[in-house]
Amino acid sequence: MHRSCVPVCPVDCIYEGARSLYINPDECVDSSACKLECEEGAIYSESDLPDEQQQHLVDNAAFFGEILPGGDRVGSPGGAAALGPVGVDTPLVAALPPRG
């Protein structure tokens, strides 16, 4: 979970789960600043997302819109820094094998 993209986000819309970062689609202004800074090349514009990554678009939105394990819904709190790390992930990310 590289965080090089977080400080360059002009609207503080990159939230931290337990094992992944999530971009709030309702708060993002599509500046591409995070995409340019991302060390892993893991951030795509929605229109450039490869077909094999489409499940992550839906999963990312679920992080904010659905009840997460533990019973909370993130929603759109207006900034990740004030909220702090959420500490849980979506079921899709939580089920992925740990990266070594």
pLDDT tens-digit readout, 18-75: 999 999 999 999 999 999 998 777 899 888 899 999 999 999 999 999 999 888 899 9
pLDDT digits (tens, 9 = 90+) for 14-27: 999 999 999 999 99
Query: Domain limits of the chain?
Result: 6-95
Name every residue whose Cβ is closer than 8 Å to that of residue 93 and which is 6 or more positions away in sequence: 17, 19, 20, 59
CATH architecture of the domain covering 6-95: 2-Layer Sandwich (3.30)
Angle in degrees, CA 34, 86, 98, rounded to 5: 80
